[in-house]
Amino acid sequence: MRLNTLDWIAYALTIIGGINWGLIGAFDFNLVAAIFGEMSTLSRIVYVLVGLSALYLIYTGTKLSKSVHHEPQTRIVR
């Protein structure tokens, strides 16, 4: 499977969101808010883009899983 530019952006934003949530959970530190301000317009845009990226990856993941055809495994007995 070859990733296009939108796929890479979605992966990057989702990773950023995951790291941010990890920091919030582990250290009660919100990196996005620290960089862009607490619920500023820019931080809200980042949160929306991360959410949209996650939805996009869910969509592409389900589309990918439907396109993969699994062959039934045959057991070889010797």
Domain count, the chain: 1
In a domain, 78, yes or no: no
DSSP 3-70: --HHHHHHHHHHHHHHHHHHHHHHHS--HHHHHH-TT-HHHHHHHHHHHHHHHHHHHHHHHHHHHPPP
Per-residue pLDDT of 8-48, as tens digits, reads 999 999 999 999 999 999 999 999 999 999 999 999 999 99
In 10 A of CB 31, how many CB atoms?
A: 16
Question: What pLDDT shows up at residue 60?
Answer: 92
In a domain, 41, yes or no: yes
Three-state SS at 77: coil
Task: Give the global pTM.
Answer: 0.78
Range of the domain at 14: 5-67
In a domain, 75, yes or no: no
